């Protein structure tokens, strides 16, 4: 699982073969197929684990009472991640590009966005369908995507400042 997570995230899902996963993990092929029904199942497990870690981060930020401070803490965390060499963008939006829209993996991606929307909505004290929530989602998504492609963590900082202006405006 750790090996698959690292490879799927770094090299992409379609570019990572089963043989590569088992070789890097140092396990037998049968061991993989004993624990997962196939590659799709492994991908789903990878996204599930990633989502669990992300939700854990969101829960930790719930301690921050002030909305603006919480958003700042959130984007500071994102920027920290984007500054690492292993950074490769958002695992979920990346996966959305590679998997079929009707796959189990894509359903997990949608669950991720539901969590994200709920976090922003609760932080601002508005409904998930509020336009400000949509704008914060745009900030997150754009920051992760652009920071990865351009290899520039400062884009996350710019997005964080933008998010702060959204929170202060209302």
Residues near 91 by beta carbon (within 8 Å), at least 6 away in sequence: 8, 9, 46, 47, 50
Judged by CB under 7 A, the chain residues 34 through 63 that form the site for DNA are 34-35, 37-40
Joined tokens for residue 93: 């939006």
Among 27, 51, 64, 126, binds DNA (CB under 7 A): 27
Query: To the nearest whole angstrom, how small is the minimum distance from the Cβ of residue 109 to a copy of itself?
Result: 6
Give the count of residues interacting with DNA (CB under 7 A). Answer: 19
- Which stretch, 36-44, 61-69, 72-80, 107-115, contacts a copy of itself (CB under 8 A)? 107-115
Considering only 35-43, 55-63, 68-76, 89-97, which stretch makes contact with a copy of itself by CB under 8 A? Answer: 89-97
* Cβ 53 to a copy of itself shortest distance, Å: 20
Are 133 and 120 contacting, i.e. CB atoms less than 8 angstroms apart?
yes
Closer residue to a copy of itself, CB minimum distance, 31 or 154: 154
Which span sits near DNA by CB under 7 A: 17-25, 44-52, 72-80, 116-124? 17-25
Q: Check binding of 166 to a copy of itself (CB under 8 A).
A: yes
In the complex, minimum distance from the CB of residue 95 to DNA, in angstroms, rounded to a whole number:
14
Applying CB under 8 A, which of residues 23, 76, 150, 168 lies at the interface with a copy of itself? 150
């Amino acid at each position: 699982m750790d090996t698959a997570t690292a490879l799927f995230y770094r090299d992409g899902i379609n570019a990572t073969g089963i043989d590569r996963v088992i070789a890097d993990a140092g396990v037998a092929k049968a061991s993989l197929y004993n624990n997962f029904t196939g590659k799709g199942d492994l991908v789903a497990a990878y996204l599930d684990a990633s989502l669990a870690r992300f939700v854990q981060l969101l829960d930790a930020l719930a301690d921050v009472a002030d909305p603006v401070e919480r958003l700042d803490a959130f984007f500071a965390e994102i920027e920290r991640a984007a500054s690492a060499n292993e950074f490769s963008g958002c695992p979920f939006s990346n996966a959305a590009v590679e998997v079929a829209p009707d796959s189990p993996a894509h359903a997990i991606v949608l669950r991720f966005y539901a969590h994200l929307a709920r976090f922003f909505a609760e932080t601002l004290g508005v409904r998930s369908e509020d336009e400000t929530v949509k704008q914060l989602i745009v900030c997150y998504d754009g920051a992760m995507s652009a920071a990865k492609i351009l290899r520039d963590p400062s884009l996350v900082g710019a997005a964080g400042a933008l998010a702060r202006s959204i929170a202060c405006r209302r």
